[in-house]
Structure 1
């Protein structure tokens, strides 16, 4: 197993230990035709996508990424730098790729990670996703809460990103706060280099998202040869909690179409 070199990372460096730690489930359904990697938001975890496999057709194999420092990985040191994390994700995903097309969906920090993961995979000469789906984050027009790193618990509560079961469990709450602080550092480490991806991009957002400028999600049009537009829904930054079925229904239409030509 390899240890990722992460300059400026505080504490022991997380190891890349393959699908068993990084992906839920660890193995993709061998009968599925398309694979879909799901990336969670700051302070969150893979469990946010627990309902998605049942909302997508059997032809799509969902695997949610679990980053170090949360949920069952909460005793591991989280990443605090974007570059090393994108490199680690690229290694995990590239080790998993088979002959089947794949897509990437990410919400908030997950959208940032999906973007930089795709850039890193293409830089390495590896197959790009057939589709990159981004939600609640854009390279231009996104403003993170000012206290995301200094006061992660306050940011979690203000954004409504703290499930009741976490709020009521001291150990889970402490882990969520630690993960949120580290994730905030990852997001703050983003420096826009204008990089484009070679695959189609579709964007999703909540109309009342306080972190996004009105035209922010449309800035994705300059990062892809084929922008599929922005689907907007009622709600704030965590609009997808109540609109997951609409998002998965849209993905169910897009994935077969773009996977066939990917």
Structure 2
């Protein structure tokens, strides 16, 4: 707990326009090396009945002085505590892209295992269990910065706008490396969730083998299908509104069925 004299701890989740009038919350998880700014425009375009809260992991922006995580279990434990502190009884959705999809999925598994309030819907984008690209990152901890950039670039796992100047590279590499080390620390165990899953991807995503997103069907009692949009691994930047509308439709059907 933060004391009155100690340093103020930066929040894990932030919202540019928090609203208790919104009927549901949407927790957003960015890609490896990404920040909460990845979803900076979502609050302006998502349904007015949904409050967006974007994840900011340690080691970036206002949390730059906090050490990055390199193991998935401690990260998930902290994430669960942080997310549950944001809940106020309203239904919520978790959505993640790429590394964020891995975190959103495993966080949902942990919340349900521990008897917490699970999400109404899990949205996953650009990642699925069993991807070859994920297995190729197992040696990332021992790679140089340039080897990491070269390797992940082969799989389209960093957006074109990632800065490449020496100063900016020094700023982004610790979080990028840390996220990939966490991803490499993940061991698949086929854990299922009880909530519906909706999957999304780009038709030209080099990390997604044909039919890869269908793997989610075996991890939920209600698979809402895989929707693909034109684009590569970062198709989401161009098709955010369509994904938002899809999540909103799924959520409203879910809530209506319970009414």
TM-score category by the smaller chain?
0.7 to 0.9
CA deviations 1:116-138 (Å, max 9, x no partner) are 10011111101110000000111
In structure 2, the CA distance between the partners of 1:52 and 1:16, relative to structure 1 (3 Å rule), is: same
Question: For the Cα contact (< 8 Å) 1:16–1:88, is it kept in 2?
Answer: no
User: 2:232 — aligned with what?
Assistant: 236
User: 2:208 — aligned with what?
Assistant: 212
**TM-score, structure 2 normalization:** 0.87
Question: For the Cα contact (< 8 Å) 2:92–2:120, is it kept in 1?
Answer: yes
Distance apart, 1:171 and its partner CA: 4.1
In structure 2, the CA distance between the partners of 1:195 and 1:16, relative to structure 1 (3 Å rule), is: farther
**Aligned-pair Cα RMSD in Å:** 2.3
SS in structure 1 at match of 2:11: helix
**TM-score, structure 1 normalization:** 0.86
Structure 2 residue aligned with 1:112, among 102, 106, 118? 102
Structure 2: runs of 5 or more not aligned: none
Q: How does 1:3-82 map to 2 (within 5 A)?
A: 17=9, 20-25=10-15, 28-82=18-72
Structure 2 residue aligned with 1:99, among 81, 89, 92? 89
The count of residues paired between Structure 1 and Structure 2 equals: 247
Structure 1 residue aligned with 2:199, among 199, 203, 207? 203
Question: For the Cα contact (< 8 Å) 1:142–1:216, is it kept in 2?
Answer: no
Question: For the Cα contact (< 8 Å) 1:55–1:249, is it kept in 2?
Answer: no
CA deviations 1:212-258 (Å, max 9, x no partner) are 11111100000001000000011111111111121112122222222
CA deviations 1:130-188 (Å, max 9, x no partner) are 00000011112352354755233334555272464x51665443221111111111000
In structure 2, the CA distance between the partners of 1:25 and 1:89, relative to structure 1 (3 Å rule), is: same
Question: For the Cα contact (< 8 Å) 1:136–1:237, is it kept in 2?
Answer: yes
In structure 2, the CA distance between the partners of 1:26 and 1:207, relative to structure 1 (3 Å rule), is: closer
CA deviations 1:52-82 (Å, max 9, x no partner) are 1111111100000000011221221100111
Structure 1: runs of 5 or more not aligned: 3-14
